[in-house]
Chains A and B, each alone.
Chain A
Amino acid sequence: MKRLISLVIGLLAICGLLAYTGNRLQRSSGDSGSKVLNLYNWGDYIDPSLLSKFQRETGYHVNVETFDSNEAMFTKLKQGGTHYDLTVPSDYMVSKLKQAHLLQPIDRHRLTGMQNYDPRFLNQSFDRHNRYSIPYFWGTLGIIYNDRYIRPGTLTHWSQLWSPKYRHQIMLVDSARDILGMALVERGESMNTTNPQTLLAATHRLDQLSPNVKAIVADEIKMYMIQDEAAIAVDWSGEAAEMLASNSHLHYVVPKEGSNLWFDNLVIPKSAQHYQAIYAFLNFMNRPENAAQNAEYIGYATPNAKAKALLPRSVRNDRQFYPDDATIRHLQVYRNRPTV
């Protein structure tokens, strides 16, 4: 009997210890403190020095957790058990999150600096009147090529990727919707088609591309392209900007026949807890000098018109990353598919 009692006491002690450690761990990961902001962001998608500047100014510590695809982020939010205060879905994912009732409307009265934004990037079809979202960055999907392997100016169409001379040379970004969208545009179809026949045909077209594909990876593409590991990559404009900055042999093209135009947006998920911090952060990021600093660090195009004016002229006028209206007209924004 004595043994049993000591056993029970021992168990209770272990449980107590576990609860205490759990509590400590939770606190150090920042889930429950009051002076924190839990940001759920794409990998490498905010200038870290802005986070420390934000903490100096407001006292809120920002915990960043990262995801590598819209779908993965959706799954995690839907699963529950998270305490994210802000996250950064792309256009179609904003509507999907909205439909799944995972977002909270943004209180416009607590926001400042919304007039800094270029009206072209507000009031988009995925979120009318920006009830739930504030634009963060925008960009395109395109082709990056290395002029050590490919003569500059010769690669301008999606269909050229299928050419047998590029066997084992192409890296694709691991994003199902973008790569399928590319195959659809190549065939002259809408990136938002829901016609099963068209989609099936695009799938077959992608199967034909596979001998040319070297790898299907995500953030690693940057590293590989900078090291001249592959001749061609299909990736997003901001990734391309970073690659171009580190390797002067690289070039970025958005094929004329069309591509994807996307917007990443800051939204408040249902699980948010730290409202003071959220609005402080949104207003902080709305400020032109901060948005400009972020845009220079990340390389994507900023929707903040005043911030864009602060960028160096060479960046502002770079048609590769700030395409003109004529090009934008050929680009398509993804819509959420009607079925889940």
Chain B
Amino acid sequence: MTKRKTCGYFIPYGLWLGLFVIAPVALIVYQSFFSLDHHVTLANYATYFQSGVYLKMTLNSVWYAFLITLFTGLISYPTAYVLRQLKHRQFWLLLVILPTWINILLKAYAFIGIFSQDGVANSFLRFIGIGPQQLLFTNASFIFVATYIQIPFMILPIYNSLADLNPAYINASLDLGATRWQTFYRVIFPLTLPGVKAGVQAVFIPSLSLFMLTRLIGGNKVITLGTAIEEHFLTTMNWGMGSTIGVVLIVAMIIVMQLTNDHSGRSSQ
């Protein structure tokens, strides 16, 4: 009886999973084996791994995703750490989450205004005597905006794992003669590592396939895998190749998941 009942509860989610998760992924894998003239082929994968273009693009995407994740992490960990000790935590946390309620395109367009030749950023640079710089369409501004957008998704899991941390451990560590720094990197950081890993997953994977920002802020000069997929589906109509890149991205994401999960499994043992 209980078994049947739980099965029944699973039906809606099962349908959802089948229709909107498994079926699309299966279709992408299926598409990736077709050439432009609808023949079954492995040529798309051969092209991907043989042509310098796609490998370079992959390298680019991974490199930028890595930088974005790194900067997000560097900003988020201290922020979450300070946040945990503040008095009105819920309020500050709300301020961190607030930007995620605003549409990402609006934020991107706001940055276009800020970074443009006569924008706020350049007015400030002029004011302090450096003079206007080309800010828009540079790699630095692309990474800056992407980091800005991803920060909440990194702070939240880190904050949660810090909040779960039993203060007794910290007190014990300090009582037993460890310095503050030792307490941090021997006790606090290892215990909150799962939060960092969850944050990395939440930031790195979406960063791999960002394409709106590469266009609006990066001016399409850096072509990431996300842009390549868009172009293959809409412009060149080479759906096979677009799907192949999609499959490669999915595999890359599985690898990232596995790497981050394995470690946390081992450390908790």
What is the number of residues of chain B that contact chain A, defined by CB distance less than 8 Å?
24
Query: B8, B134, B216: which contacts A4 (Cβ < 8 A)?
Result: B8
A332 CA to B235 CA, complexed, in Å: 22
Q: By the criterion CB–CB under 8 Å, are B136 and A229 in contact?
A: yes
Residues of chain B within 8 A of A7, CB atoms compared: 8-9
* B residues 236-256 touching A (CB-CB < 8 Å): 236-237
A273 CA to B116 CA, complexed, in Å: 45
A98 part of interface (Cβ distance < 8 Å): no
Residues of chain B within 8 A of A75, CB atoms compared: 233-234, 237
Q: By the criterion CB–CB under 8 Å, are A71 and B221 in contact?
A: no
Q: By the criterion CB–CB under 8 Å, are B117 and A174 in contact?
A: no
> Closest Cβ of chain B: how far from A112's Cβ, in Å?
36
Chain B minimum-CB-distance residue to A15 = B12
A216 CA to B216 CA, complexed, in Å: 9
Chain A minimum-CB-distance residue to B218 = A215
A11 CA to B8 CA, complexed, in Å: 10
| A-B Cβ contacts below 8 A, count | 57
Residues of chain B within 8 A of A227, CB atoms compared: 116-118
A228 part of interface (Cβ distance < 8 Å): yes
Known contacts A213-B221, A229-B116, A340-B237; 12 additional CB pairs below 8 A are A3-B8, A11-B12, A14-B12, A71-B236, A75-B234, A176-B235, A210-B221, A215-B137, A217-B220, A224-B116, A227-B117, A228-B117
Chain B minimum-CB-distance residue to A78 = B237
B11 part of interface (Cβ distance < 8 Å): yes
Query: A4, A217, A220, A228: which contacts B5 (Cβ < 8 A)?
Result: A4
> Closest Cβ of chain A: how far from B16's Cβ, in Å?
12
| 28 pairs, A vs B, C-beta closer than 8 Å | A4-B5, A4-B8, A11-B11, A69-B234, A69-B235, A71-B234, A71-B235, A72-B234, A74-B237, A75-B233, A75-B237, A168-B134, A176-B236, A213-B221, A214-B219, A215-B136, A215-B220, A215-B221, A216-B220, A217-B216, A217-B220, A220-B112, A224-B116, A228-B117, A228-B118, A229-B116, A229-B136, A340-B36
Q: By the criterion CB–CB under 8 Å, are B220 and A174 in contact?
A: yes
Residues of chain A within 8 A of B221, CB atoms compared: 210, 213, 215-216
A46 CA to B137 CA, complexed, in Å: 30
B84 part of interface (Cβ distance < 8 Å): no
Chain A minimum-CB-distance residue to B4 = A4
A20 CA to B134 CA, complexed, in Å: 52
Task: Enumerate the 9 nearest inter-chain pairs by beta-carbon distance, A residue then B residue, closest first.
Answer: A215-B219, A216-B220, A72-B234, A71-B235, A215-B137, A7-B8, A229-B117, A214-B137, A75-B234
* B residues 1-50 touching A (CB-CB < 8 Å): 4-5, 8-9, 11-12, 36
A113 CA to B12 CA, complexed, in Å: 56
Residues of chain B within 8 A of A224, CB atoms compared: 116
- Given A75-B233, A75-B234, also A217-B8 (CB < 8 A): no
Residues of chain B within 8 A of A340, CB atoms compared: 36, 237
Q: Mark A1-17, 1 if CB is under 8 A from B, else 0.
A: 00110010001001000
Q: Mark B198-232, 1 if CB is under 8 A from A, else 0.
A: 00000000000000000110011100000000000
Residues of chain B within 8 A of A228, CB atoms compared: 117-118
